[in-house]
Structure 1
């Protein structure tokens, strides 16, 4: 005698599907949070790697990499004999100069005769037509291994931007990994140790084209220190142990005695989860 097996009813099937959906709705946020935590750990490690590479650069070269915007950094292409017109392009930012200094535009190492340290007149370096790149002088091995960091361009970070054209859009920068589709550049600022005031030791303008373009204006400067304006940047890098008014005992980044973090070295800033520079989730070296 055959025993008839009873199948699932529609109600039972829908109940099972609902339970699975509920379990997934509970599990997915936890999985996403775990994934984001892992990326944050990786980004902190990458920032330490870049920080150590900068220190190694300084130990070998006698100074930290520049972060000043001294003209445009030209890629190894185009007419090697022409004076390039830079009027239509914003200058490379501190983030660009850092990559060029630690790795080289061609990714085979820093060289002395590049535009930020030697030439500032817009003329390319002596060109080697056989190799298809400038003649190398005093080439140094890369100070950081590319497999230990994330590298990209402003075109990937903000494809809709109108601020980035030509080389500033295409030249490489170190980037975070917290937003896979639109990663943010790692900002780099070198301290000007001959200066003494907070807003002179570090220059907001070193990465202003990046921060002005990416950060949004909340209209509420009292809750988040976005880098849309210089004041937000200087408050962000201010060391609150300094700037105490002797008469009131109140510390302020506007006091003449205020000093930034890392006043003698450099600052690195990863935008963090919210992809905005100057907020509490940033990853920094201070």
Structure 2
């Protein structure tokens, strides 16, 4: 007589159709979750960027308390040498060597004092030199300070390749081979002026804003270096903020409607290029309410 099979010991396997159905459901769920996770990641990075701008703002206020005013942001130093707003911001917050800004700083590209006789940021600074420093107002590990050559490689135009700038948190592989963010742009308000007029941009210079509170030239030479992850030459596309009209449209306050006024007309503005690394696009993050206007 044949033995009777015990139903409890019978193992039923999944069919191919069942396996494919389960796998399809998993793929659909992943497709739904990945965009949501990317949005969460982008939001978290944006929060980090806002926190960095806030930390820089605290550093600027500490500098202002020590030196009775915000650091200059002009495109040139007192010698007429290229030393732009982003670089002066880094010196004010961190010093030229990340050991603090010297109390006799004249914000000269050479690092000399106002008399042109004393090097304020020598190699291996002495104890007396360090005692004359203020700050740094951010920890070096958290300042995102990079030398210009670490971002742009050898393509630094008329700037010194060794000068530091403060970079945003949106890191990418740059022309130098290093992974950094883009420089934070810094513009100081000229409170003696009262205009915010893009129509005078064509007649403005690095030293004459034609009555405008902000001078877009302050970082124009840095913006003109282009996008350091792209190949240099004819194929490289410029930043949108290279257009002065875009600068003035996007920094205009919506609160004041009787006349054109910029955001923060009595202090300064900070601009991060945002996740796409391009200045003057909708994802830029600033210390004011950036309203992207074509």
Q: Is the 8 A contact 2:74 2:85 kept in 1?
A: yes
Distance 1:122 1:13 in 2: 78
Taking a change above 3 Å as real, the CA distance of residues 166 and 197 of structure 1, as seen in their structure-2 partners, is closer
2:100 counterpart SS class? coil
The 1-side partners of 2:75 and 2:116 are apart by 13
Pick from 30, 44, 50: which aligns with 1:44? 50
SS state at 2:186 partner = strand
Q: Aligned-pair RMSD on alpha carbons?
A: 3.6
Residues 128 and 108 of structure 1, relative CA distance in 2, 3 Å threshold: closer
| 1:267 aligned to which of 266, 269, 272 | 269
**Counterpart check, 1:28 vs 2:34:** yes
Residues 163 and 213, structure 1, Cα contact 8 Å, conserved in 2: yes
The CA distance in 1 between the partners of 2:52 and 2:123, in whole Å, is 36
Are the structure 2 counterparts of residues 20 and 129 from structure 1 closer, same or farther at C-alpha, using a change threshold of 3 Å?
closer
2:72 paired residue number:
66
Deviation at 1:265, TM superposition (A): 1.1
> Greater CA deviation, 41-50 or 270-279?
270-279
Runs (5+) with no aligned partner, structure 2: 174-179, 197-208, 228-236, 289-294
Change in 2 beyond 3 A, CA 1:171/1:21? farther
Q: Under a length normalisation based on structure 2, what TM-score does the superposition of the two structures give?
A: 0.69
Structure-1 residue corresponding to 2:191: 193
Q: What SS does structure 2 have at the residue aligned with 1:189?
A: strand
Gaps of 5+ in 1: 73-85, 219-225, 245-256
Cα 1:285–1:122 change in 2 (3 A) is same
Structure 2: distance between partners of 1:202 and 1:133: 39
Map of 2:230 onto structure 1: none
Larger Rg over CA atoms: 2
Contact persistence 1:99–1:173 (CA under 8 A): yes
Show the 5 A alignment for 1:1-286: 3=9, 5-71=11-77, 91-114=82-105, 116=107, 119=113, 125=119, 131=125, 135-136=129-130, 138-155=132-149, 157=151, 162-164=155-157, 167-168=160-161, 170-181=162-173, 183-198=181-196, 199=209, 200-214=212-226, 216=237, 226-242=240-256, 244=258, 258-286=260-288
> How many residues are matched?
250
CA contact (8 A) 1:102 1:144 kept: yes
Query: Offset of 1:268 from its aligned partner?
Result: 0.8
The alpha-carbon distance between structure 1 residues 131 and 163, as it changes in their structure 2 partners (threshold 3 A), is closer
Distance in 1 (CA, whole Å) between partners of 2:238 and 2:124 is 50
